[in-house]
Amino acid sequence: MKKIIETSQAPAPIGPYSQAVQVGNLLYVSGQIAIVPATGELLLNTIEEETHQVMKNIGAILKEANTDYSKIIKTSIF
């Protein structure tokens, strides 16, 4: 059974996809960019600022799914 994970604490999907999908005990999180959920602002000042915001967005999605960074087994960064 799959469960769609959605939180207002991370940017809303821009296209026809979900922030994350949980299947059994696995969570598949969609790619994130440096959008501030509260304002919709895209941060592009420094790579550090962008990275920090992306990680906050991922953390919010993980929290909504009742998990955390320590459970991540694979990531891809582009």
Give the CATH architecture of domain 2-71: 2-Layer Sandwich (3.30)
Q: Which single residue is written with the structure tokens 């304002």?
A: 39
pLDDT at 14 over 90: no
Q: What confidence tens digit (pLDDT) does each residue in 30-78 have? A: 999 999 999 999 999 999 999 999 999 999 999 999 999 999 999 987 7
Question: Which residues, in sequence order, are CB contacts of 6 under 8 Å at separation 6+?
Answer: 18, 19, 20, 64
pTM of the model: 0.92
